[in-house]
């Protein structure tokens, strides 16, 4: 059984804002369908098997983040079905749940609660999380005094300790200094070795090759190619090089 | 999807609000007491000195019985309404159940409410109105009021995601309500033909019942209580359904 399965999934976003928004809502209530819709994903199907790690590549606006948010259950598809079997942890924009005036420990508690852990589990894990983050000395200081690297360290440590079956990563591996990056990498490989899956969005060719066996290539919401990571990446970077060449010729 | 601990999340969010609000204030929780006391002083001055027609006994106390429910209601309604927008970054990143945000926001206003009710009860004792058996009604009517505000917060926070003007509608409604709720006048001053309307307004009903219990030492009037129960439950249930209906679009519109 696949951990994540997308069946012909499409996702649209509304275009209008402000005053036009109210008009669109009213039209919608009266049954008129709005014409202006942005297609973020178009008829996407793929599966992630247990123990498999899948990378999603593509240029900005290709629909990568939308795909992750659908897999995380944050958004619902407009067409098709998204099936998820197992506990998902999404490491999207780390630290977005932090409040600058609360201390590290207080934020740890709050974030952990939001991620779905009970008080008991949180308190049991708190020490491990603090230790992993390597900022134990600052846990009683408000987050606003932290450097951005420290905030990321704490956020990553909290998220990685949720013990998920599936991890969704959105460009978050560039966390902290070299030492911490090594630690993160190790934690992720341990995770993979334990037979769990990662869905990984990245612009870094090297990281994708290192971590994932398979890859998806999205462009303007459409699935261009899926298959083994090396093949997809070669095709993707080939296309990028072509576009660059075309751009140079044009100018 | 998300099978976490609801109670832990809500208490954590309430604790966050409380800490964030008071941590950087030198006077801390005292601010919750100053605001109603100052308003009480101003309203007492205007009504007894400028208009000088106060037939109400213990006027400052009667005003406080109006201010505490009104302050709670207007603040809880407004912060509840904006709660989803304020937590947009969380809603787009964490699959935590969305209704937690308006609920936690109303409950964190209850923390301030407790402080203000404490102030009110102490004032009642200072003014020489003793404790009576009908005080047992207080938790009941306050629970009903909280249920009412929860319903409003659910519905308005969801609508506010789609139509951002909602928060200004709420702000204006609160300004109007200040005059329409018997805060600085008594229920008996209202002409008979308008009384029925007041009876169905949960905020006005609460103010009237607070006065009946604390100042007159009587049990709340049955019809007012019945109306409060009906309106509160109806609002809560409708709010819940509105929220459920609008929830699927939050991600796109936030």
Q: For the residues of B34-48, what is the DSSP string, one character each?
A: HHHHHHHHHHHHIII
Q: What pLDDT is attached to residue B174?
A: 95
A13/B20 Cβ within 8 A: no
pLDDT: which is higher, B73 or A153: B73
**From first to last of its 251 residues, what are the pLDDT tens digits of chain A?**
788 899 999 988 876 666 666 777 777 777 665 556 788 899 999 988 888 889 998 888 888 888 988 998 888 888 899 998 888 888 777 777 788 888 999 999 998 888 888 889 889 999 999 998 888 899 999 999 998 888 888 888 888 887 788 888 887 666 667 888 888 888 888 888 888 888 988 877 878 888 888 999 998 888 888 888 888 888 888 887 787 788 777 76
Please indicate whether residue B72 or residue B52 has the higher confidence score (pLDDT): B72
How close is the nearest chain A Cα to the Cα of B250, in Å? 8
- CA–CA gap between residue B227 and residue B33 (Å, rounded): 30
**DSSP labels, A37-93:** EEEEEEEEEEEE-TT-EEEEE-STTSSHHHHHHHHTTSS--SEEEEEE-S-EEEE-S
* Residue B49, pLDDT score: 80
Closest-approach residue (CA) in chain B for A108: B12
Please tell me the predicted confidence (pLDDT) of residue A86: 83
Alpha helix (H) residue ranges in B56-201: 59-86, 88-91, 100-126, 137-162, 166-180, 192-200
Q: How confident is the model at residue B21 (pLDDT cuts 50, 70, 90)?
A: confident
User: Residue holding tokens 């951990």?
Assistant: A3
pLDDT tens profile B32-62: 888 888 988 998 888 888 877 666 778 888 8
Q: Of A21 and B139, which is predicted with more confidence?
A: B139
Q: Is the dihedral of CA B125, B127, B128, B131 positive or negative?
A: negative
Contact: B90, A106; criterion CB under 8 Å:
no
Q: Which residue has the higher pLDDT, B22 or B107?
A: B107
Cβ distance of B252 and A14 shorter than 8 Å: yes
Residues of chain A with Cβ-Cβ distance to B161 below 8 Å are: none
* A3 DSSP 8-state letter: S
pLDDT-derived band at B145 (thresholds 50, 70, 90) equals: very high
- The answer to whether the Cβ–Cβ distance between A106 and B248 falls below 8 Å is no
Task: Tell if the CB–CB gap between B96 and A109 is shorter than 8 Å.
Answer: no
Structure-token match 């993979």, residue found: A192
Closest CA to A202 of A166, A225, A172: A172
Identify from A23, A116, A170, A172 which residue to disrupt to test chain B contact, counting B C-beta atoms within 10 A and taking the largest count: A116
* Cross-chain Cβ contact B96/A114 below 8 Å: yes
pTM (2 d.p.): 0.87
- B96 touching chain A per CB within 8 A: yes
Q: How far is CA B133 from the centre of its chain?
A: 24
Residue B186 has pLDDT above 60, yes or no: yes
Strands A37-48, A4-14: pairing kind: antiparallel
**Which domains does chain A carry?**
1-87+199-244 (3.40.50.300)
**pLDDT for residue B107:** 95
Average pLDDT, chain B: 89
Q: Does the pLDDT value for residue B117 go beyond 90? A: yes
Q: Which residue of B has its CA nearest to A72?
A: B95
To test the contact with chain A by mutation, choose from B12, B163, B168 the residue with the greatest count of A C-beta atoms within 10 A, namely: B12
Give the ipTM of the model, two decimals please.
Answer: 0.81
pLDDT of the residue at B100: 94
Contact A40, A63 (CB under 8 A): yes
Give the per-residue pLDDT at A25. Answer: 72
Picking from B5, B19, B251, the nearest residue to A75 by CB comes out as B251
Query: Which one of B16, B24, B93 has the shortest CB-CB distance to A93?
Result: B93
Contact A101/B20, CB-based, under 8 Å?
A: yes
Cβ–Cβ gap A117/B20 under 8 Å: no
Which of the four pLDDT bands, split at 50, 70 and 90, describes residue B233?
Answer: very high
Q: What is the DSSP string of B204-244?
A: HHHHHHHHHHHTS--PPPHHHHHHHHHHHHHHHHHHHHHHH
pLDDT on residue A180: 82
Mutation choice for B interface testing from A25, A114, A115, A166 by most B CBs within 10 A: A114
Among residues B152, B157, B203, B153, the alpha carbon closest in space to that of B179 is found at: B203
Return the pLDDT at B142: 95
Per the CB < 8 A criterion, the answer to whether A101 and B23 are in contact is yes
Spatial separation of the C-alpha atoms in residues B83 and B105, rounded to whole Å: 7
What angle, rounded to 10 degrees, do the helices at B59-86 and B137-162 form?
40
Pick among B4, B8, B22, B249 to test the A interface (most A CBs inside 10 A): B8
For residue A160, what pLDDT is reported? 82
Quick check: A74 and B251 CB within 8 A? yes
Q: Is B245 near chain A, with CB under 8 Å? A: no
How confident is the model at residue A51, as a pLDDT? 85
pLDDT of B55 reads 67
- What is the reported pLDDT for A74? 86
Residue B251 to residue A194: CA distance in whole angstroms: 32
């Amino acid at each position: 059984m696949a951990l994540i399965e997308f069946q012909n999934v499409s996702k649209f976003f509304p275009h209008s804002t402000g005053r036009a928004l109210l008009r669109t809502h009213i039209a919608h209530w009266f049954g008129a369908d709005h014409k202006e819709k942005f297609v973020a994903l178009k008829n996407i199907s793929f599966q992630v098997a247990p123990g498999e790690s899948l990378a999603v590549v593509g240029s900005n606006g290709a629909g990568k983040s939308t795909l992750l948010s659908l897999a995380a259950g944050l958004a619902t598809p407009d067409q098709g079905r998204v099936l998820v079997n197992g506990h998902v942890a999404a490491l999207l924009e780390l630290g977005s749940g932090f409040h600058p005036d609360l201390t590290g420990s207080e934020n740890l508690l709050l974030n952990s609660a939001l991620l779905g852990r009970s008080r008991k589990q949180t308190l049991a894990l708190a020490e491990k999380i603090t230790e992993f983050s390597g900022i134990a000395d600052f846990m009683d200081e408000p987050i606003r005094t932290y450097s951005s690297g420290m905030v990321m360290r704490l956020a990553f440590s909290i998220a990685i300790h949720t013990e998920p079956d599936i991890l969704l990563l959105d460009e978050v591996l560039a966390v902290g200094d070299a030492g911490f990056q090594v630690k993160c990498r190790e934690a992720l490989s341990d995770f993979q070795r334990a037979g769990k899956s990662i869905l990984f969005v990245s612009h870094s060719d090297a990281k994708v090759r290192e971590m994932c066996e398979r890859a998806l290539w999205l462009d303007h919401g459409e699935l261009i190619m899926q298959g083994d990571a090396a093949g997809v990446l070669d095709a993707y970077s080939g296309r990028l090089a072509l576009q660059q060449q075309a751009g140079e010729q044009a100018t | 999807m998300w099978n976490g601990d609801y109670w832990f999340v809500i208490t954590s969010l309430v604790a966050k609000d409380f800490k964030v609000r008071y941590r950087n204030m030198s006077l801390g929780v005292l601010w919750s007491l100053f605001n109603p006391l100052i308003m009480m002083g101003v309203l007492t001055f205007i009504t007894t000195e400028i208009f000088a027609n106060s037939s109400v006994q213990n006027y400052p106390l009667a005003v406080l019985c109006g201010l505490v429910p009104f302050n709670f209601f207007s603040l809880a309604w407004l912060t509840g309404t904006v709660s989803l927008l304020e937590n947009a970054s969380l809603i787009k990143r964490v699959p935590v159940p969305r209704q937690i945000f308006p609920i936690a926001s109303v409950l964190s206003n209850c923390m301030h409410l407790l402080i203000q009710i404490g102030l009110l009860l102490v004032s009642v004792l200072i003014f020489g109105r003793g404790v009576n058996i009908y005080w047992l009604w207080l938790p009941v009517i306050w629970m009903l009021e909280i249920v009412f505000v929860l319903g409003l917060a659910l519905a308005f926070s969801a609508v506010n995601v789609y139509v951002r003007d909602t928060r200004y509608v709420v702000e204006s409604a609160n300004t109007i309500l200040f005059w329409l709720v018997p805060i600085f006048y008594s229920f008996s001053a209202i002409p008979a033909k308008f009384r029925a309307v007041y009876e169905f307004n949960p905020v006005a009903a609460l103010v009237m019942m607070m006065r009946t219990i604390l100042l007159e030492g009587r049990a709340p009037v049955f019809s007012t209580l019945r109306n409060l129960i009906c309106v509160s439950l109806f609002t809560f249930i409708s709010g819940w359904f509105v929220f459920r209906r609008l929830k699927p679009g939050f991600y796109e519109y936030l």
